[in-house]
Amino acid sequence: MTDTIPVFVNGRRVMLPPGGTASMAARQDDPALASRADVTITDARGLPVSPDAVLASGAILRVAVSARRAGGADADT
Instruction: Map out the domains of the chain as residue ranges.
Output: 5-56
pLDDT at 34: 82
Sheet of 60-65, strands arranged across: 12-16, 5-9, 60-65, 39-43
Q: Would you give the DSSP letter of residue 3?
A: S
Q: pLDDT of the chain along its 77 residues, tens only? A: 579 999 999 999 999 999 999 999 999 999 988 888 899 999 999 999 999 999 999 999 999 988 766 555 555 54
| pLDDT for the residue 33 | 86
Is pTM, for the whole model, over 0.85?
Answer: no
Strand partners, 7: 14
d(CA 73, CA 62): 23
Mean pLDDT, the chain, whole residue set: 88
Q: What integer pLDDT is reported at residue 53 of this predicted model?
A: 97
